[in-house]
A and B are shown apart, each in its own frame.
Chain A
Amino acid sequence: MADIFDAYALADAWDEMFERPGEVRTAYEPVLAALQPMEPAELRFRADQMARSFTDRGVTYAFAGEERPWPLDLVPRVLDALEWDLIQRGVSQRVRALEAYLADAYGPCRAFEDGVVPWRLLLNSPHFHRAAHGVEPPGGVRIHVAGIDLVRDEAGDFRVLEDNVRVPSGVSYVIENRRAMTRIFPSLFAEQHVLPVDGYGQRLLAALRAAAPDGVGDPRVVVLTPGPSNAAYFEHALLARLMGVQLVEGHDLVCRGNRVWMRTTRGEMPVHVVYRRLDDDFLDPLHFRPDSVIGCPGIMNAAQAGNVTLANAVGNGIADDKLLYTYVPDLIRYYLSEEPVLPNVESFRPDEPGQLEAVLDQLDQLVVKPVDGAGGQGIVIGPHADRQTLDRVRKEVVADPRGWIAQRPVALSTSPTLAGERMAPRHIDLRPFAVNDGSDVWVLPGGLTRVALQEGNLIVNSSQGGGSKDTWVLAEGPAEGPAAEPTGPLPEVAPRQLGPDGERLVPQEGAQQQ
Chain B
Amino acid sequence: MNDVILSRIAEALTWTGRYVERADTTGRILDAYLHRLLEDPWRDEDVACRSLYAILGVDAGTDAVDMQQVLDQLAFDARSTCSIEGALGAARLNARSAREAVSSEMWECLNSTWHALADQRLAARRTGPYAYLELVRRRAALFFGLADSTMSRDDSWRFVVLGRSLERVDMTVRLLSVRVLDAAHAPDWPTLLSASGADEAYARVYGGFGDTARVAEFLIMDREFPRSVLHALTTAEECLAALGRPRQDPARRPIGRMRTRLEYLDSTALEDVLPSLLRELQTSCMASAEAVAERFFPYQGPVEWAQEGA
Cα–Cα distance between A195 and B131 once the two chains are bound (Å) = 24
CB distance from A350 to the nearest CB of B (A): 48
CB distance from B300 to the nearest CB of A (A): 12
Within 8 Å CB of A487, what residues of B?
Answer: 182, 184
* Inter-chain contact A508/B35, CB cutoff 8 Å: no
Q: Which residue of A lies closest to B121 (CB)?
A: A508
Please report which residues of chain B, range 38-83, place their CB below 8 angstroms from some CB of chain A when the two chains form the complex.
38-45, 47, 50-51, 53-57, 60, 67, 78-82
* Inter-chain contact A195/B19, CB cutoff 8 Å: no
Within 8 Å CB of B283, what residues of A?
Answer: 494
Q: Which residue of A lies closest to B83 (CB)?
A: A505
A505-B86, A508-B118 known; A486 and B184 CB under 8 Å? yes
Q: Is B158 an interface residue (CB 8 A)?
A: no
Residues in chain A within 8 A of chain B (CB atoms)? 45-46, 49, 178, 182-187, 189-190, 192-198, 201-202, 205-206, 209, 221, 241-245, 475, 478, 481-488, 490-491, 493-502, 504-508, 511, 513-514
Within 8 Å CB of B174, what residues of A?
Answer: 493
Between-chain CB contacts (< 8 Å), 10 pairs: A49-B127, A196-B39, A241-B203, A244-B205, A478-B42, A481-B42, A485-B44, A487-B184, A490-B51, A505-B89
Residues in chain B within 8 A of chain A (CB atoms)? 11-12, 14-15, 18-19, 22, 34-35, 37-45, 47, 50-51, 53-57, 60, 67, 78-82, 85-86, 89-90, 93-94, 96-97, 111, 114-115, 117-118, 127-131, 170, 174, 177-178, 181-186, 190, 200, 202-209, 282-283, 286, 289
* Inter-chain contact B11/A500, CB cutoff 8 Å: yes
Cα–Cα distance between A185 and B126 once the two chains are bound (Å) = 10
Interface centre among B11, B90, B177 (most CB of A within 10 A): B90
Q: Which residue of A lies closest to B177 (CB)?
A: A493
Cα–Cα distance between A205 and B204 once the two chains are bound (Å) = 12
Cα–Cα distance between A481 and B40 once the two chains are bound (Å) = 10
* Inter-chain contact A46/B38, CB cutoff 8 Å: no
Within 8 Å CB of B82, what residues of A?
Answer: 496
Within 8 Å CB of B170, what residues of A?
Answer: 496-497
Partner of A500 from B15, B53, B54, B114 at Cβ < 8 Å: B15
* Inter-chain contact A493/B178, CB cutoff 8 Å: yes
Cα–Cα distance between A496 and B170 once the two chains are bound (Å) = 9
Cα–Cα distance between A225 and B38 once the two chains are bound (Å) = 33
Partner of A244 from B42, B177, B200 at Cβ < 8 Å: B200
A486-B184, A493-B177 known; A244 and B202 CB under 8 Å? yes
Q: Which residue of A lies closest to B206 (CB)?
A: A244
Within 8 Å CB of A183, what residues of B?
Answer: 128, 130
A241-B203, A244-B204, A244-B207 known; A192 and B130 CB under 8 Å? no
CB distance from A511 to the nearest CB of B (A): 7
* Inter-chain contact B286/A494, CB cutoff 8 Å: yes
* Inter-chain contact A484/B185, CB cutoff 8 Å: yes
